Amino acid sequence: MFDTLASLTTFATKHPLMLFVLAVSSVFATLPGGGAAFAAEGTGKKILVAYFSHSGNTREIATQIHEKVGGDIFEIKAVHSYPAEYNECVQVAKREQQNDERPQLATEIPDMASYDVVFLGYPNWWGAMPMPCFTFLEKYDFSGKTIIPFCTHEGSRLGRSVRDITRLCPKSTVLEGLAVRGSSVKSARDDVAGWLRKLGMTN
């Protein structure tokens, strides 16, 4: 209908409602993350960003994702918290993994069935997800949902976590995950944004 920007502008100046629509659109386009969140919501998919975090690194990446895609954000917490001291924490994590434990969760999602896409974040502990994430994946029905993993690490990237997710949720679609070094989370925004675009979650 409008072959040039000039013709569109001329039409808009003669029609106040169109001028208003153009103005609002330009504001959304300049909001930090606003355009991306709008694009994600425009797909009609309801999104959940769920994460387990010990040091705060995974929480940082989860927040960056949530700012881009919108939806709801949820922290997975175990009833018994992990030791703050690193060496003690990894020993507890190692024991839980060796015993294939399922720590009880202190938080829950009232209506998991309403979500279409679930981002799942966690630190890489001993090459795998922390065991509370296993509890989380077994607690709810993820059939027909899209699961998108992301993790923080210090060298082992996603480890075997994607295989574990696929095994625990065989009726889900598991997309390409993102691994971010824990020491680089504050500067990972470009990597997060590029990954989300590649997945088609943002423009």
For every one of its 203 residues, what pLDDT tens digit does the chain have, with 9 covering 90 and above?
Answer: 334 334 434 444 454 444 333 343 333 333 333 333 333 545 689 999 999 999 999 999 999 999 999 999 999 999 999 999 988 999 999 999 999 999 999 999 999 999 999 999 999 999 999 999 999 999 999 999 999 999 999 888 999 999 999 999 999 999 999 999 999 999 999 999 999 999 999 98
Domain 34-199, CATH: 3.40.50.360
Q: In 3-state terms, what secondary structure has residue 62? A: helix
Of 39, 29, 121, 33, the C-alpha closest to 74 is: 121
Residue 181, classed as helix, strand or coil, is strand
The domain ranges of the chain are: 34-199
Distance CA 149, CA 163 (A): 11
Phi and psi at residue 179, to the nearest 5°: -120, 125
